[in-house]
Chains A and B, each alone.
Chain A
């Protein structure tokens, strides 16, 4: 039986059209047969069982579904899985290494940047894209960058603090590495 939300097996019993795509998710390549109408968010959540990416609205407003496509923040509810063919997708599960958290995750932990945590994956990924491009943002630049990510719990104060703290820590770490370089 085919399901609207599920990845469709190649030997589909009815005439449902499928496209074969190859997507690299958190560094791992997946080849999947998907219906063209399958949203990237559903491919990630149901197809790959990576449920850290959340669906929080029906209107592409909230940003809880934010992932990085080739490093750029994209709302995965507003993208079809087939559009990710050949691209690199980063989800929240790809932030931490096997042994330690990403500095951005540390920022949110240490500066109380989350309460219920639902918006947090999207916030952190958008923040990562910002800091990759602008390692020393002002508070206004952080707020502007995160304006596509909504939060119902925190009032954003500590989210901004978390991002600024992570930015400072990343700059400090990079300076240490530069000093150590021959």
Chain B
């Protein structure tokens, strides 16, 4: 038996990937594809300034918008 013929466990053996079938059909169910009941969506507001000191954050206008459940700072 040559070195080429030695297979340790499944190393060196050709395997069929089990996940390809749904990926190539567009049924990958990635995180952004998941919809759960009562699911909320999050948006991140980033600072428009590269270098600045935050003096205060007023979240009242955001909280007053319809559908907003939570504002985290």
B41 with A52: CB separation less than 8 A = no
A112 with B66: CB separation less than 8 A = no
Q: List 21 A-B contacts (CB under 8 A).
A: A3-B41, A3-B67, A5-B41, A45-B32, A51-B26, A51-B29, A51-B30, A51-B33, A91-B26, A92-B24, A92-B25, A93-B25, A93-B26, A101-B25, A108-B20, A108-B24, A109-B24, A114-B20, A116-B23, A117-B23, A118-B28
Which A residues touch B17, using CB under 8 A? 109, 112
Total contacting residues, chain A, CB less than 8 A: 27
B23 with A1: CB separation less than 8 A = no
A120 with B67: CB separation less than 8 A = no
Give 1 or 0 for each of A145-162: 1 = CB within 8 Å of chain B CB. 000000000000000000
User: Which B residues, 32 to 62, have Cβ-Cβ distances below 8 Å to chain A?
Assistant: 32-33, 41
Q: Is residue A121 contacting chain B, with contact meaning CB distance below 8 A?
A: yes
Q: Is residue B1 contacting chain A, with contact meaning CB distance below 8 A?
A: no
Q: Is residue A50 contacting chain B, with contact meaning CB distance below 8 A?
A: yes
A52 with B20: CB separation less than 8 A = no
- Seen from chain A, the residues whose Cβ lies within 8 Å of a Cβ on chain B are 1, 3, 5, 45, 50-55, 91-93, 95-96, 101, 105, 108-109, 112, 114, 116-118, 120-121, 124
> For residue B19, which residue of chain A has the nearest CB?
A117
B67 with A52: CB separation less than 8 A = no
- Our pick among A55, A91, A116, A120 for the contact of B24 (Cβ within 8 Å) is A120
Which A residues touch B8, using CB under 8 A? none
A105 with B67: CB separation less than 8 A = no
